[in-house]
Chain A
């Protein structure tokens, strides 16, 4: 009993082949879209590489790029096959290739689904990479003379300006690290020496933030030093002041940004996966209906197309048996070999008595 059989007349078959040809070309375009999305994601992650610790973040864009390229090739081949399927003679060329092609494409669509799900699962790894990366970037902010870290200050400043954020979780993160390099501290001044001594590790900590934390929308000139000291500034109360600095932490800002990108890409890939699946179903129907035409012999007749010839369970059982027997090629099966344990039919002379072994001369 076939799964979801549909009857196809000759005109229906031809129209199906033509529609599938167009759909396969559209799928080539969607494959290119997948490729471009993968490259876009790769570029976005590389842009902020300095702020992310080493994690397996490159696997998702690489997967998308590979899947996009393979989709292009598979659908290009599919388009060619469907184009030839209108003519029964040309179909004979592709007859043997079609079933393996459909099986390959089915497994490929599974990988597209995996790619889409990976986009959503990257969230956890991203969060971890950002936490560690941002913390280190802020710690090395002052090291503009250390090779390998010279541009971290610029990167963090531009990040805070562009994403309108300050610090890791908030602006208070800057109070806990020394972000002013010792090169610019006057060690002969009493105030500096006091601050250094009051701290266990000898760090110069202050309640100030870099200029990139300043909020552009503030009505007053930016207050970036002595932030928690209300009396240092006229008409200022730091607990109620919200417009002076950026309130959001850069961790949250970056996470939101990348999560948005990942969700959009994931949704697009899911839609592409559904499209590919429908094209695959169409190709399967076309293949089965054309094979039935060949079986019946008359190219103009009606034929049935289906997804599976027998029911799902039976097909699974027969495939399983095939796979089981594939493994037994090298074994000698006693049931199968006709030459073992059969009584001999040789003629040993008129008595039909087998020869006895001759006694040896002593």
Chain B
């Protein structure tokens, strides 16, 4: 049962080859764009790598880069094939190359679709990674004298100012962590001693936040200490005050930023995917219609082209069987088969 049968006159074949040549160059450009977008996404993820716990999310830009490169190669060969397609003398040399070419192309095109789906599906993993990473960043904020953690303070401060966010989920995360180092606490002062004693772990906790949480759009000078104490500041009520500090949490801000980036990239890659599918389908049609007229005297006759000779499942098995045979060959053959072979 043939899939996608189509009758093609000589003129139609010529026009198909011409359009295909131009289309394949656009698709090559699309592949280059995909590769560039993958590089860009990877750079952006690495910039904030210090507040991420794991690198699972990097599979998306890595896949995009691989698919971009593969797409450029596939479309380059597609353009060469269609250039030679109308010349009956040059076309036969592509014969042995075409089957593996189509196998690889379908594989990488499906990989392109998978990468788009991944970019939406990895949101949960990204959020978890950021949650843990930010929690650690806030915990080690005060350790500017510990090697390996000296720059946590700087990283978190810059992050909060750039993304206009405060803390992990909100500014109250800073109340649960000691973010002032012991080096700058006067242990002879009664107030400091009281605070440390009132806490189980002996930590100096305050209802204050670092200066990087301050909102520049606030009409009044920033209130960053004794935030929950209304009487400590004139004309101030912390429950209704919205402009003093950044309200948004940094996890939410970063997830929003990266999902926006991946949505845009996903849309572009999806259109490149559609372009590539059409290129592959056209190459297949051209190839089959040219093979129908191969060996004939008059090349200008009508011919039939099709997408798949057999049904989808049978064609799939046809491609997968050689790969499976290659894998089975390394296995030891089962003893019954050996005995049977020995008996016969």
Contact = CB atoms under 8 A, between A and B. Distances in A.
Interface of A: 144-145, 150, 153-154, 157-158, 161, 179-181, 183-186, 210-212, 214, 216-217, 219-222, 224, 233-235
* Residue in A180, A183, A185, A234 whose Cβ sees the most chain B Cβ within 10 Å: A234
Given A144-B220, A186-B235, A235-B186, 20 more contacts: A153-B216, A154-B217, A161-B161, A181-B219, A184-B220, A211-B214, A212-B214, A212-B216, A214-B211, A214-B212, A216-B161, A219-B181, A220-B180, A220-B184, A221-B180, A221-B184, A221-B210, A222-B211, A224-B211, A235-B183
B154 A235 contact: no
A153 B153 contact: no
B222 A210 contact: yes
A154 B221 CA distance: 11
A153 B224 CA distance: 17
B212 A153 contact: no
Contacts of B211: 211, 214, 221-222, 224
Contacts of A220: 144, 180-181, 183-184
Contacts of B145: 219
Given A145-B219, A211-B222, A234-B184, A216 B158 contact: yes
B61 to A, nearest CB: 28
B212 to A, nearest CB: 7
Given A184-B234, A221-B180, A222-B211, A234 B220 contact: no
A103 B180 CA distance: 73
* Residue in A158, A184, A217, A221 whose Cβ sees the most chain B Cβ within 10 Å: A221
Interface residues of B, number: 30
A210 B214 CA distance: 10
Contacts of A222: 210-211
Nearest to A159: B216
Q: 10 tightest A-B contacts by CB?
A: A157-B216, A144-B219, A219-B144, A234-B186, A186-B234, A211-B222, A222-B211, A211-B214, A211-B211, A214-B211
Contacts of B233: 184
12 contacts: A145-B219, A158-B216, A184-B220, A184-B233, A210-B222, A211-B211, A216-B161, A219-B150, A219-B181, A220-B183, A221-B211, A234-B189
Contact of B224 (A180, A211, A234): A211
A216 to B, nearest CB: 5
A184 B154 CA distance: 31
Interface of B: 144-145, 150, 153-154, 157-158, 161, 179-181, 183-186, 189, 210-212, 214, 216-217, 219-222, 224, 233-235
Contacts of B180: 220-221
B220 A183 contact: yes
Contacts of A179: 221
Nearest to B234: A186
A181 B220 contact: yes
B10 to A, nearest CB: 42
Contacts of B185: 234
A257 to B, nearest CB: 19
B323 to A, nearest CB: 53
Contacts of A183: 220, 235
Contacts of B144: 219-220
B161 to A, nearest CB: 6
A216 B154 contact: yes
Contacts of A217: 154
A154 B218 CA distance: 8
A184 to B, nearest CB: 5
Contacts of A180: 221
A256 to B, nearest CB: 22
Contacts of B183: 220, 235
Contacts of B220: 144, 181, 183-184
Contacts of A181: 219-220
A251 to B, nearest CB: 20
A319 B220 CA distance: 71
A184 B184 contact: no
A139 to B, nearest CB: 15
A334 to B, nearest CB: 80
B123 to A, nearest CB: 30
Nearest to A157: B216
Nearest to A235: B184
Nearest to A179: B221
Nearest to A143: B219
A222 B189 CA distance: 20
* Residue in A212, A214, A219, A235 whose Cβ sees the most chain B Cβ within 10 Å: A219
B27 to A, nearest CB: 30
A323 B158 CA distance: 68
Contacts of B150: 219
A2 B144 CA distance: 77
A212 B222 CA distance: 10
Nearest to B221: A180
A221 B212 CA distance: 10
Contacts of A150: 219
Contact of A161 (B181, B184, B189, B216): B216
Nearest to A188: B234
Contacts of A153: 216, 219
Contact of B235 (A145, A184, A210, A235): A184
Nearest to B153: A219
